[in-house]
Structure 1
Amino acid sequence: MIEDNETIEEFLARHADDVEESVRKAAAQEIMPRWRRLTEHEVDRKSGPHDLVTDADRQAELYLTDALRALLPGSAVVGEEAVHDNPGIYGALREDAPVWIVDPVDGTRQFVHGDTGFCTLVALAHRGVVHASWTYAPARDQIATAVRGQGAFLDGERLDAGSPEPGRDLRVATSHPDFTTDEQKRALLGLNTEGVAPRSCGSAGLEYLDIARGACDATAFCWEAAWDHAAGLLLVEEAGGAHLTRAGVPFRITGDNVLPFTTARDEATARRVVDLLSAGA
């Protein structure tokens, strides 16, 4: 818990490892026992045929909600499944209490199909600023962490996003066409140009990890859900990258962003992608 007059930074110095342990336990107890063993009644659809949710999503979020609140009494939890049931919970991002932002299974489609490309995302934010993040890919036994001002790490090794290789096409992961409006599709068409190689994204959290480690150059995403972005945005920032909306300002987890937005290995690449998105729109 945060003790009297303790800052978020001091809390993290004492409890970052405890958060990681909670993330790992949630995956070990609620996610991995169901991976490649899901039955039909454990998979549902939310807003459409491609928007899947499983018992692993629901149970892992419940586990993390209890564990994280116990570590930080008085904190709020904005979890994907809880917000689906009660959209008003999302408003906690604009309030004064510290907020845990949780996506229990990011890449549910991949999880349902038995692929390894899914992860659990947790971020700690306060007054709209993300202070720490955890990205855990249990099927790949990888964990990436970041604390604001202290760098980004993958399995304990510091990450450096670097810059795209000169002369090579920019590798850009984009929102899947199933989840974009006609206007957003027009903006994304701006990426269909010489020197850019766009492709549909997989798990957003793992796309951010790929940017932070230099395996992808940028994203172009068309949705704002904080549970998909908060952990990865900090991870990329702490690895030296940048994020910008089409308004030319950093993405805000509290919302009201001009979309699509980009996250990239460096600021120059972010500005190039934003310019192409604006030209397409």
Structure 2
Amino acid sequence: MKLQGRRTSSNVEDRRGKGGKTIIGGGIGGIIIILIVTLLGGNPSELLNGTTSTTTESSAPYQATAEEQELANMVSVVLASTEDVWTAQFKKQGLTYKNPTLVLYNDSVNSACGTASSAVGPFYCPGDQKLYIDLSFYDELQQKFKAPGDFAMAYVIAHEVGHHVQTLLGTMDKIQSTRQNMSETQYNKVQVKLELQADYLAGVWAHDAQGTNLLEEGDLEEALTAASAVGDDTLQKQGQGYVVPDSFTHGTSEQRKRWFYKGFESGTIAGGDTFNASSL
């Protein structure tokens, strides 16, 4: 990405070094399930209910490396770009966009959705309209998920901002209100539609960001690689060796790539109605 000289967002809350280390009950298996289900858009509060946690405060001041500070700056530039894009998109609809806050943390963090460890991965909490990211996830994208590049991380941020857009448009509330009338399998299918729409909205942002010359050659491919890397089928194959389609909550790798690219080509909110699409 072309980051030099671009504005950074004033809506970044830096909590690095201020949280404690949270141990979530349930063992490694529980943490893996949390990671798979909530990665890039899950609601950790739904998974943390019924678990136990122990938090210890860190007394030593947090010392960020130069590399991490550079990454924090990149994240802030991306957030600022999403603010510009969605302010303009909402204005086209006769609406007003409210900027979310992005919280940087390490180890664990408290949110309106509960306390989560960095094992949860990046997430958005509709309760406080904040995005939560441990910057170490950038290394995970490159090493564990084989999705290198700064625009891969930009896709992650844009996806979480997509959930904020859904919150402002009332989509999140509508989905939550229907949950009690559905079986787990039925709700999982609705959740997939919600997540694929967030991927589409991330693509809409990328379309408009390209118009501001933020993107460089290869950036689009980085985002598509990241979207593919976090598909339910890919994660389940890696985690347990087989897939269970009824348990999908985010969509397959192919679906995630396709809906992101569809948003990138369209550049409009209107084309992302995953809930009424004839096929996903």
User: In proportion to residue count, which structure has more helix?
Assistant: 2
| TM-score, normalising length: structure 2 | 0.29
| TM-score, normalising length: structure 1 | 0.29
Higher RCO (C-alpha 8 Å, min separation 6): 2
